[in-house]
């Protein structure tokens, strides 16, 4: 009889410039690094992925100029769709070290309702100093 050995693997990291105990709302400044298989990771926030170029994206644009307006209708269009998807995926999946580096850099620039991370931290420090 074969003994089954469970595999244990981390599949998600959170990256945040807000200290965990700074505010009950600190999580809204969070960026996630999530495992996508094949040793590749995605940097995500609000269902967008961060590309190697530092740009956030909802996904591949197809058809060009009118993303999501219709499905491919023939083999040529399906080939173009798959090529666009593969190109997008190649730009938005990273090895773990690269994903963590991209997430750490992006975390410094997170804005929530017009409030930067630094402004939120300054506001928290003001409130605590006044207490």
Residue ranges per structural domain of the chain? 12-130
Query: pLDDT, tens digit, for every residue of 72-87?
Result: 999 999 999 999 999 9
pLDDT > 90? residue 114: yes
DSSP notation for 27-93: GGG-EEEEEEETTEEEEEETTEEE-TTS-EESS---STTSTTSS---SHHHHHHHHHHHHHHHHHH-
pLDDT (tens digit, 9 = 90+) per residue, 20-66?
888 888 999 999 999 999 999 999 999 999 999 999 999 998 888 88
The predicted model scores a pTM of 0.88
What number is the average pLDDT over the span 100-105? 98
């Amino acid at each position: 009889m074969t003994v089954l050995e469970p595999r244990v693997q981390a599949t998600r990291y959170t990256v945040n410039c807000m200290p965990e105990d700074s505010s009950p709302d600190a999580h809204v400044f969070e960026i996630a690094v999530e495992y996508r298989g094949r040793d590749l990771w995605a940097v995500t926030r609000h269902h967008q992925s961060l590309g190697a170029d530092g740009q956030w994206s909802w996904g591949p644009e197809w058809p060009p100029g009118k993303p999501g307006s219709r499905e491919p209708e023939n083999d040529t269009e399906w080939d173009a769709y798959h090529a666009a998807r593969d190109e997008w995926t190649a730009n938005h999946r990273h090895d773990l070290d690269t994903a963590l580096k991209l997430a750490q850099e992006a975390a410094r620039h997170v804005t929530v309702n017009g409030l930067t991370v630094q402004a939120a931290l300054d506001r928290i420090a003001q409130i605590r100093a006044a207490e």
